[in-house]
Every structure is written in C-alpha cells, then in structure tokens.
Chains A and B, each alone.
Chain A
C-alpha cells in the first residue's frame, strides 16, 4: 500500500488504462504540454505522445463532440473539462449526443467514454467557478455519474469508468486533489454503482459523496465525542446508478438519516435519496430525513459568506440533533 494523493491516484488510473487499451486517449485543455490544469495528467504526454494526449483549443462544445464522434466509431475517449463549470458549454454533446446515442440507434452505437474534471467549489472562486452539477447529469437516462471522495475510490472508479461501455460523467473535487490516502500497489477496480460505508455506526446514517464525505466524517467524530451519537457515514460514490440497497440497509439499521451534498437543495441528489428511502424504508424511519446542502444562492466571493454557503459540520450536527430528538 502506498499513500498517494487523489490527483496521483487519478493519474495512475489514466496511465494504467492507457497502457491496457490502445483505444483509450485523453483530450482536453492543457492536458499535455502544460501537464494538466490540476496536474492530473502529469507525465502522460511524455509517455504516450501527442496522438493520445491531445491538447485542445478552448472549445468545450467542439472537443466534447469530437470525443462523442470518436466513441461512436469505437475509440474510448476520456474528455477532460478544466472544470465542470466550463462543461456547460458542452452540455448539448453530453446530453443530446452521448447520453442518447445508444437509445436512438436502437442499441447500434454504444458510447464508451468518460467526461471528467473537477466540480464543486474550491476557495473564493465566486459564482461562475463554484458549482456542483451532480444532479444535472444524474437526471439524464443514459449517463452514469460518479463522484469519488478518496484516492482509493478515485483510482478504482476511474478505471471502471474508462472500461464501461456507457458515457460516464466523472466529477472530481478540486479541493480533493491534494487529499492523501492508501492505494494498493496491485491492480484493482471499484465497481460503478456501489456505495461504501466509510464509518460504521448505529444511531444515524450520514449520506454523502465527494467532498461532503470529509464533512460527514468530521461531524461523526464530533457527534461521538460531544453527544455520544454513533453515526454511520455512507459514501454514495456513484450517483447514477444509485446504490439504493446500501442506503436502505443502513437506514433500516439506524432509523434516521441526514443527507449532505455540495449542490443546491432544490431537486438535488438528497431529494432523490429521500424519495428512495421513503418508499423502500418508510416503516423503519423514526424521524423525518433532513438535508444539508449548499445555501440556495450563487456562490459569493467573500470568504466568510462562502464558508456560510458551504455545507459544514455544525449544520450536520444540528440536523442530527433534530433527527435524534436531542433538543
């Protein structure tokens, strides 16, 4: 086991999959000569050359579509968006082309491709650079949506995403790139569609993904120390397909749930999770399910306002107090 960063875990996944399959290539802004805007593709140009590590103009719609066309004739593109904020310019290709091609063609054209890049807020990047789009893409049948929280999951899930024959929206966390964690030396993958218990517990389930896994874990520690509440932290890892059995199993055990996500509340991932729980585990619930999300506003620049807008442990602890009727 080596301890490496989330960034390097993604880099390893790309490198290994490109070594494994000559049809895999990486395309995006600054992925080659610059070594990646966030250095995820560091060293890949040197190893694979500019045929397979392709620097593009700033033309998200265009190069996303080039990726779609290449996938239609059998290549396995990995399209990097410098951030998912810029991918709004390309969303026609993700939604209208990639997600629907298999269905419209009655199964004739699979779309083995990955769209990846950092999503969500970093630090003081303000409204246009601080957005979590999980729920946008998870809404679309035909797409798979993945949002890993740890280096182990990032590597294993990216490898699975590249091998998957469907278009996968792979949302990384800009603030996660420097997070370190253990990654096995040997080959492994993490299957898409499986959640993971990051901390077992019996009193309440904290359902989270990506950056909010750290928020949930920190909250769980404090809940244990300050209130004697034993929280289970369930990391969704994949948003679509959603691991409903894992959610239900946990809620059946704890009878209480708080959902934490970086996105906005309205029609967010938590809304879907609440729906699944109320249908599949209604009789097990001892309290209404609560949600902790980003404030329902465009992200402000000011440091204090930004902090107030993001989900943080105080809100989680407050929500747990309420679902556990501790007040």
Chain B
C-alpha cells in the first residue's frame, strides 16, 4: 500500500481545505438524502457513500474537466465532485424534472454530459467496458484525455472486468480502473466471494500497472490517481487502482447498517479511519485550519445541502409526455 502522505505543504492549504469541504459536502448531502429516503421523498434503491468520500474526491480532483467519468450506482458523491450541482443531484433523487437526468434516471443513473459525467450504471460491472470504450475513443482521436471507471470490489469477479482489463492492456487504452473496495458486495465479504482478494494483484494477469491505496486518505487517493492519469496521458496505458475503503451505511437504504454480515464493533473500528476526521486533524496539526474554520465550513455545506433539498422539494415532476421522450433520437 502506498505510504500515507505525512507532510502537508502549507502552500497547498487552500487545496486541502477544498478537499475537506468537498468531503463534508457529500457527507452532509448523503445524510440528508438518507433522511429524505426514510421519509419516502426518495424512492427506489438509494446507495449512500458515507465513509468512502476520500476515494471519489481524491480521485476526481486529480483529473481534468475534459476527462470522462463512469461510475456504478453509488455515485452521488462522484457527480457532485465532478461539478454537477447538489441541487441537480438531489432533484434527480427526488425524481424531479430539474434533476440531472430529468427525473428519468434516479439515484442510480445520474448523468451530466457537460461535466463529462457519463453515468450512473446499475448492473454490477456492466459499465467497466464502457470506460474502456471511452479510452478507445480517446486513443482513436489521439487526444490526451483520460477515462476513469469507479466500481466496487464485487465487480472484479464478473466477466466484464476481466474482458475489459485484457483489452485495455492489449490495446493500451488510457483508462483508469478504480476499484472501491469497501469490503462487502451487498452482504458478502470479499473473502467469501473471491479466491484472490488482493485486488490490485489481478492486474498481473494483464500486465497492467496497479496500486493499492488507503482509500480513507484523500491525499493518497489524489496522488495515486494523478500518477495513473499521467501514465494514461503520456504513455496511453491503463492502471488498476484498489482503494481500501469502507462504507458506514448498509448496501442500500433497504439494508440495515450492519445486519448479519458484519458486527457493530467492526463498523466502529472502521470509523476510527474516518477520512474527514483524518484530514481535519492533519490540518489542525499543521496549523492550516482550526475548529472555528471547520464549523464555518460545515455550516456552509449544510446550507448548500438544505438549499438542494428545498430546490428538489419545490421542483416540478416531469411533464406526463416526458414518458415518451428520448426513447429514440430523431
């Protein structure tokens, strides 16, 4: 595993605070989304990201605006970090016309092409080849963009993962495969599902560069993805990154927080690695932030989330005729 970044650079203080703010924003967003779900204001499946914030935020802040982002269905944080407004994401969760997918996608299918945010896919592992396809297009057009694909550790046992990694390595596609190993595929621990559970090792099968990263350390995530992005841009080579992280909530809102498959003690132990607390304390120790600063930041993001909720609440449902639009492109 890559060594945690221990030394903070005071010149980067604004960037560190931005990372912290972004993590706080998506955590508050998810907390409020969970409440709204419990109140019946959000329907369907809703998969919260609480605990995993360092992965999306560290990774996506290492990419450029013209890069392509593909994710699975636990993707509210990725969309927001990519620049989709919390209003548009919350409105989509509420199924409203103002949502980033017009209320037709929902929690699992967030899209915003202008932000290079290409979904929001809900068949485990089914989107992995899509990101390689974007990598193929980048190479076809000979630009120096990067495609990144986020997926959970349960997806590494599916055929699409292996077929795609093989082709990405064979064709030298500028694609980053970022496995968010939160240890459980729904209720099945990785060790109960995979013969080889050091996921980064799987890259060896395809002679692909790989790295295991502390997925609770936002700076380590940022640096690892920056390295992979450089490899993609300069050498047109893919990378497999395994981010070791943890989800605090159930698999979805339909799932109890620990249930039968993990203990309360394990959950509490993992929370000691909390990515937000971790960065906050490092900033405190380096004298780059104080308690008052954090509180102010928290107030700001809570106001932003409250605004998103109000916006979502007050937004209209899609018009009835939206049912039949966008089935085919004219």
Measured CB to CB, the residues of A under 8 A from B are 25, 51, 56-57, 59, 61-75, 77, 92-93, 96-97, 101-112, 141-142, 144, 165-166
Contacts and interface: CB of A to CB of B under 8 A. Distances in A.
B209 interface: no
A106 B167 contact: no
B146 to A, nearest CB: 12
B111 A75 contact: no
A108 B110 CA distance: 11
30 contacts: A25-B140, A57-B166, A61-B129, A61-B160, A61-B163, A62-B163, A63-B129, A65-B132, A69-B70, A69-B129, A69-B147, A70-B133, A70-B137, A71-B133, A72-B134, A73-B118, A75-B137, A92-B123, A92-B160, A93-B126, A97-B130, A102-B327, A104-B111, A104-B119, A105-B101, A106-B102, A106-B105, A106-B111, A109-B113, A142-B327
Contact of A66 (B102, B123, B126, B133): B133
A101 B119 CA distance: 9
- Interface-central residue, A64, A68, A69, A104, by most chain B CB under 10 Å: A69
Given A62-B163, A73-B68, A165-B329, A103 B134 contact: no
Contacts of B167: 56-57, 59, 62-63, 66
B133 A65 contact: yes
Nearest to B70: A69
Nearest to B142: A51
Nearest to B158: A61
A108 B105 CA distance: 12
Interface string B184-195: 000000000000
Interface residues of B, number: 44
B132 A66 contact: yes
Given A59-B166, A70-B133, A70-B136, A104 B126 contact: no
Contact of A68 (B113, B129, B330): B129
B208 interface: no
A64 to B, nearest CB: 7
A75 B140 contact: yes
B123 A68 contact: no
Given A59-B163, A61-B159, A108-B112, A102 B326 contact: yes
A104 B133 contact: no
A146 B138 CA distance: 30
Interface string B104-115: 110001011100
A101 B109 CA distance: 9
A63 B164 CA distance: 8
Nearest to A101: B119
Given A66-B129, A68-B133, A72-B133, 12 more contacts: A51-B140, A59-B163, A65-B160, A66-B130, A66-B132, A70-B137, A73-B133, A93-B126, A97-B130, A104-B105, A105-B105, A109-B118
A106 B164 contact: no
A57 B105 CA distance: 33
B119 A64 contact: no
A222 to B, nearest CB: 40
Nearest to B133: A69
A106 B326 CA distance: 6
B131 interface: yes
A71 B130 CA distance: 9
B327 A69 contact: no
Nearest to B328: A166
Contact of A69 (B105, B130, B159, B326): B130
B121 interface: yes
